[in-house]
Amino acid sequence: MIDYRDELLERRLREISYVLLVGGGKGGVGKSLVAAVTSLLLARSGHKTGLLDLDLHGPSSIAILGVSDAPAETSEGVVPPRVEGVRVMSIDLLARGRPLPLSGSAKEEVVKEVLAVTAFGPLDYLVVDLPPGTGDELLSAAKYLRGRRGALVVTTASPLSLSASRRSIEILRGLGIEVLGLIENMAAAEGGSVVEKVAGDFGARFLGRIPYDGELEKLVGKSGAGRLLETCFSAALRRALLVAGLAL
Protein backbone atom coordinates (compact mmCIF):
# COMPACT_ATOMS: atom_id res chain seq x y z
CA MET A 1 0.00 0.00 0.00
CA ILE A 2 1.26 3.48 -0.88
CA ASP A 3 0.51 6.51 1.27
CA TYR A 4 0.02 9.44 -1.12
CA ARG A 5 0.77 11.86 1.72
CA ASP A 6 4.47 10.91 1.59
CA GLU A 7 4.66 12.47 -1.87
CA LEU A 8 2.88 15.63 -0.69
CA LEU A 9 5.14 15.86 2.35
CA GLU A 10 8.22 15.71 0.19
CA ARG A 11 6.88 18.53 -1.96
CA ARG A 12 6.05 20.67 1.06
CA LEU A 13 9.43 20.11 2.69
CA ARG A 14 11.31 21.04 -0.45
CA GLU A 15 9.87 24.53 0.01
CA ILE A 16 11.01 24.89 3.62
CA SER A 17 14.61 25.98 4.22
CA TYR A 18 14.77 25.44 7.95
CA VAL A 19 12.53 23.84 10.59
CA LEU A 20 12.86 25.37 14.05
CA LEU A 21 11.32 23.22 16.76
CA VAL A 22 10.43 24.90 20.05
CA GLY A 23 10.12 22.42 22.88
CA GLY A 24 10.95 21.65 26.46
CA GLY A 25 9.79 18.94 28.71
CA LYS A 26 7.49 20.82 31.05
CA GLY A 27 4.14 22.45 30.46
CA GLY A 28 3.56 26.09 31.34
CA VAL A 29 7.11 27.33 30.79
CA GLY A 30 6.17 29.56 27.85
CA LYS A 31 7.06 27.43 24.84
CA SER A 32 4.10 28.65 22.82
CA LEU A 33 4.86 32.30 23.52
CA VAL A 34 8.49 31.75 22.59
CA ALA A 35 7.41 29.99 19.38
CA ALA A 36 4.86 32.67 18.46
CA VAL A 37 7.12 35.65 19.16
CA THR A 38 10.08 33.94 17.47
CA SER A 39 7.97 33.59 14.33
CA LEU A 40 6.98 37.26 14.54
CA LEU A 41 10.63 38.31 14.97
CA LEU A 42 11.71 36.21 11.99
CA ALA A 43 8.94 37.63 9.81
CA ARG A 44 9.78 41.18 10.87
CA SER A 45 13.39 40.53 9.81
CA GLY A 46 12.18 39.76 6.32
CA HIS A 47 12.12 35.98 6.47
CA LYS A 48 9.23 34.05 4.98
CA THR A 49 7.93 32.40 8.11
CA GLY A 50 5.33 29.83 9.09
CA LEU A 51 4.18 28.78 12.55
CA LEU A 52 2.83 25.28 13.06
CA ASP A 53 1.18 24.49 16.38
CA LEU A 54 1.60 20.78 17.09
CA ASP A 55 0.29 20.96 20.64
CA LEU A 56 -2.75 18.90 19.66
CA HIS A 57 -4.29 18.78 23.13
CA GLY A 58 -3.63 22.36 24.12
CA PRO A 59 -3.16 24.49 21.01
CA SER A 60 -2.62 28.14 21.91
CA SER A 61 -0.89 29.82 18.96
CA ILE A 62 -4.19 30.97 17.51
CA ALA A 63 -5.15 32.56 20.80
CA ILE A 64 -1.73 34.12 21.38
CA LEU A 65 -1.63 35.76 17.96
CA GLY A 66 -5.33 36.61 17.86
CA VAL A 67 -5.92 34.70 14.63
CA SER A 68 -9.50 35.08 13.51
CA ASP A 69 -9.38 34.15 9.83
CA ALA A 70 -10.07 30.61 8.68
CA PRO A 71 -7.63 28.74 6.46
CA ALA A 72 -8.42 28.90 2.76
CA GLU A 73 -8.93 25.83 0.61
CA THR A 74 -7.04 26.09 -2.68
CA SER A 75 -5.87 23.69 -5.36
CA GLU A 76 -2.48 23.64 -3.59
CA GLY A 77 -3.97 22.63 -0.24
CA VAL A 78 -5.09 24.41 2.90
CA VAL A 79 -3.48 27.85 3.01
CA PRO A 80 -3.10 29.07 6.61
CA PRO A 81 -4.16 32.58 7.59
CA ARG A 82 -1.43 35.21 7.84
CA VAL A 83 -0.77 37.33 10.91
CA GLU A 84 1.91 40.03 10.82
CA GLY A 85 3.53 38.20 7.92
CA VAL A 86 3.45 34.77 9.61
CA ARG A 87 1.42 31.91 8.12
CA VAL A 88 -0.15 30.22 11.15
CA MET A 89 -1.49 26.67 11.13
CA SER A 90 -3.05 24.94 14.08
CA ILE A 91 -5.40 22.00 14.50
CA ASP A 92 -7.53 24.48 16.43
CA LEU A 93 -8.37 26.25 13.17
CA LEU A 94 -10.16 23.05 12.17
CA ALA A 95 -11.33 21.84 15.58
CA ARG A 96 -12.75 25.34 16.21
CA GLY A 97 -12.05 25.39 19.91
CA ARG A 98 -13.36 21.87 20.54
CA PRO A 99 -11.21 19.41 22.51
CA LEU A 100 -9.45 16.73 20.52
CA PRO A 101 -9.30 13.37 22.32
CA LEU A 102 -6.67 11.27 20.54
CA SER A 103 -4.69 8.14 21.26
CA GLY A 104 -1.09 7.57 20.15
CA SER A 105 -1.44 6.27 16.61
CA ALA A 106 -4.22 8.74 15.83
CA LYS A 107 -1.91 11.60 16.84
CA GLU A 108 0.65 10.55 14.27
CA GLU A 109 -2.09 10.43 11.64
CA VAL A 110 -3.19 13.96 12.54
CA VAL A 111 0.35 15.33 12.40
CA LYS A 112 0.98 13.69 9.04
CA GLU A 113 -2.36 14.81 7.63
CA VAL A 114 -1.86 18.42 8.73
CA LEU A 115 1.65 18.49 7.27
CA ALA A 116 0.42 16.98 4.01
CA VAL A 117 -2.58 19.24 3.47
CA THR A 118 -1.08 22.53 4.64
CA ALA A 119 0.26 24.72 1.85
CA PHE A 120 2.60 27.13 3.63
CA GLY A 121 4.34 27.83 0.33
CA PRO A 122 8.05 28.68 0.23
CA LEU A 123 9.39 29.38 3.72
CA ASP A 124 12.74 30.42 5.13
CA TYR A 125 11.62 29.20 8.55
CA LEU A 126 8.89 26.91 9.78
CA VAL A 127 8.64 27.38 13.56
CA VAL A 128 7.01 24.39 15.25
CA ASP A 129 5.39 24.77 18.65
CA LEU A 130 5.71 21.38 20.38
CA PRO A 131 3.63 20.17 23.32
CA PRO A 132 5.20 19.33 26.69
CA GLY A 133 6.97 16.00 26.90
CA THR A 134 8.57 13.70 24.41
CA GLY A 135 5.54 11.91 23.00
CA ASP A 136 3.92 11.27 19.65
CA GLU A 137 3.85 14.87 18.44
CA LEU A 138 7.63 15.27 18.84
CA LEU A 139 8.33 11.83 17.41
CA SER A 140 6.05 12.48 14.43
CA ALA A 141 7.56 15.92 13.82
CA ALA A 142 11.04 14.38 13.87
CA LYS A 143 9.90 11.64 11.50
CA TYR A 144 8.21 13.82 8.92
CA LEU A 145 9.97 17.20 9.17
CA ARG A 146 13.31 16.16 7.75
CA GLY A 147 16.00 18.38 6.29
CA ARG A 148 17.73 21.31 7.99
CA ARG A 149 16.34 21.61 11.47
CA GLY A 150 17.19 22.62 15.00
CA ALA A 151 15.50 22.96 18.36
CA LEU A 152 15.19 25.59 21.05
CA VAL A 153 14.53 24.18 24.52
CA VAL A 154 12.55 26.46 26.82
CA THR A 155 12.72 26.03 30.57
CA THR A 156 12.28 27.87 33.83
CA ALA A 157 14.72 27.67 36.72
CA SER A 158 12.45 25.16 38.47
CA PRO A 159 14.21 21.84 39.17
CA LEU A 160 11.20 20.02 37.71
CA SER A 161 11.41 21.99 34.49
CA LEU A 162 15.17 21.53 34.29
CA SER A 163 14.82 17.81 34.77
CA ALA A 164 12.24 17.63 31.97
CA SER A 165 14.47 19.79 29.74
CA ARG A 166 17.40 17.46 30.26
CA ARG A 167 15.24 14.56 29.08
CA SER A 168 14.01 16.57 26.09
CA ILE A 169 17.54 17.41 25.03
CA GLU A 170 18.51 13.75 25.21
CA ILE A 171 15.54 12.70 23.08
CA LEU A 172 16.03 15.50 20.53
CA ARG A 173 19.66 14.52 20.06
CA GLY A 174 18.68 10.88 19.81
CA LEU A 175 16.33 11.84 17.00
CA GLY A 176 19.14 13.58 15.15
CA ILE A 177 17.90 17.09 15.84
CA GLU A 178 20.47 19.77 16.62
CA VAL A 179 19.79 21.46 19.95
CA LEU A 180 20.50 25.15 19.44
CA GLY A 181 20.37 25.82 23.16
CA LEU A 182 18.42 26.48 26.33
CA ILE A 183 16.30 29.57 26.93
CA GLU A 184 15.39 30.45 30.50
CA ASN A 185 11.91 31.95 30.63
CA MET A 186 10.16 33.73 33.51
CA ALA A 187 13.53 34.45 35.06
CA ALA A 188 13.76 36.31 38.34
CA ALA A 189 14.76 39.95 37.95
CA GLU A 190 17.91 39.56 39.99
CA GLY A 191 20.44 36.91 40.85
CA GLY A 192 22.46 34.43 38.86
CA SER A 193 20.96 31.94 36.47
CA VAL A 194 20.64 28.34 37.61
CA VAL A 195 19.84 27.42 34.02
CA GLU A 196 23.11 28.91 32.81
CA LYS A 197 24.97 26.86 35.39
CA VAL A 198 23.33 23.56 34.45
CA ALA A 199 23.30 24.10 30.66
CA GLY A 200 26.89 22.90 30.50
CA ASP A 201 25.95 19.74 32.39
CA PHE A 202 23.33 19.09 29.72
CA GLY A 203 25.90 19.68 26.99
CA ALA A 204 23.78 22.55 25.70
CA ARG A 205 24.46 26.20 25.05
CA PHE A 206 22.78 28.73 27.32
CA LEU A 207 21.09 31.24 25.02
CA GLY A 208 19.78 33.72 27.53
CA ARG A 209 17.17 34.56 30.10
CA ILE A 210 13.82 36.18 29.59
CA PRO A 211 12.59 38.01 32.70
CA TYR A 212 8.99 37.55 33.78
CA ASP A 213 6.94 40.08 31.83
CA GLY A 214 3.67 40.96 33.51
CA GLU A 215 2.56 43.03 30.52
CA LEU A 216 2.39 40.03 28.21
CA GLU A 217 -0.92 38.68 29.50
CA LYS A 218 -2.61 41.96 28.59
CA LEU A 219 -1.45 41.68 24.97
CA VAL A 220 -1.97 37.98 24.32
CA GLY A 221 -4.87 37.35 21.98
CA LYS A 222 -5.50 41.01 21.31
CA SER A 223 -5.72 42.30 17.77
CA GLY A 224 -2.42 43.56 16.51
CA ALA A 225 -0.10 40.69 17.37
CA GLY A 226 2.75 42.98 16.37
CA ARG A 227 2.46 44.66 19.76
CA LEU A 228 4.00 41.52 21.24
CA LEU A 229 7.20 42.65 19.54
CA GLU A 230 7.25 45.81 21.64
CA THR A 231 7.56 43.90 24.93
CA CYS A 232 10.57 43.24 27.15
CA PHE A 233 9.86 39.56 26.50
CA SER A 234 10.41 40.07 22.78
CA ALA A 235 13.62 42.06 23.30
CA ALA A 236 15.11 39.41 25.58
CA LEU A 237 14.01 36.60 23.28
CA ARG A 238 15.59 38.37 20.30
CA ARG A 239 18.92 38.49 22.13
CA ALA A 240 18.68 34.76 22.86
CA LEU A 241 17.83 33.97 19.25
CA LEU A 242 20.83 35.96 18.05
CA VAL A 243 23.04 33.87 20.36
CA ALA A 244 21.42 30.80 18.78
CA GLY A 245 22.62 32.07 15.41
CA LEU A 246 19.32 33.08 13.86
CA ALA A 247 19.56 35.91 11.36
CA LEU A 248 17.42 38.64 12.92
Q: List the one residue from 68, 96, 176, 191 that touches other proteins (CB under 8 A).
A: 96
Using CB under 8 A as the binding rule, whether residue 181 contacts other proteins is answered as no
Q: List the one residue from 14, 27, 106, 230 that touches other proteins (CB under 8 A).
A: 106
Q: With CA atoms as reference, report the closest residue to 77 among 39, 47, 33, 113.
A: 113
CA distances from 189 to 31, 81, 221 (A): 20, 37, 25
Q: Are 51 and 89 in contact (CB under 8 A)?
A: yes
The sign of the CA dihedral 199, 203, 208, 213 is negative
Q: List the one residue from 44, 82, 85, 102 that touches other proteins (CB under 8 A).
A: 102
Q: Which residue's CB is nearer to other proteins, number 11 or number 143?
A: 11
Distance separating alpha carbons of residues 100 and 195, to the nearest angstrom: 34
Q: Which residue's CB is nearer to other proteins, number 92 or number 184?
A: 92
Q: Of the ranges 46-54, 68-76, 181-189, 212-220, which one interacts with other proteins (CB under 8 A)?
A: 68-76
Distance separating alpha carbons of residues 152 and 179, to the nearest angstrom: 6
Using CB under 8 A as the binding rule, whether residue 69 contacts other proteins is answered as no
Q: Which residue's CB is nearer to other proteins, number 94 or number 242?
A: 94
Using CB under 8 A as the binding rule, whether residue 113 contacts other proteins is answered as yes
Using CB under 8 A as the binding rule, whether residue 68 contacts other proteins is answered as no
Q: Which residue's CB is nearer to other proteins, number 125 or number 144?
A: 144
Q: List the one residue from 73, 178, 215, 230 that touches other proteins (CB under 8 A).
A: 73
Using CB under 8 A as the binding rule, whether residue 79 contacts other proteins is answered as no
Q: Of the ranges 34-42, 67-75, 131-139, 221-229, which one interacts with other proteins (CB under 8 A)?
A: 67-75
Distance separating alpha carbons of residues 82 and 88, to the nearest angstrom: 6
Interface pattern 5-44 for other proteins (x via CB under 8 A): xxxx--x---------------------------------
The dihedral region occupied by 61, where left means phi > 0, alpha psi between -120 and 50, and beta the remainder, is alpha
Q: Are 183 and 34 in contact (CB under 8 A)?
A: yes
Which long-range contacts does 217-225 make (Cβ < 8 Å, 24+ apart)? 220/33, 220/63, 220/64, 221/63, 221/64, 221/65, 221/66, 222/66, 223/66, 224/66, 225/36, 225/40, 225/64, 225/65, 225/66, 225/83, 225/84
CB of 100 to other proteins, least distance (A): 5
Q: Where on the chain is the footprint of other proteins (CB under 8 A)?
A: 1-8, 11, 73-78, 91, 94-96, 98-103, 106, 109-110, 113-114, 116-117, 119
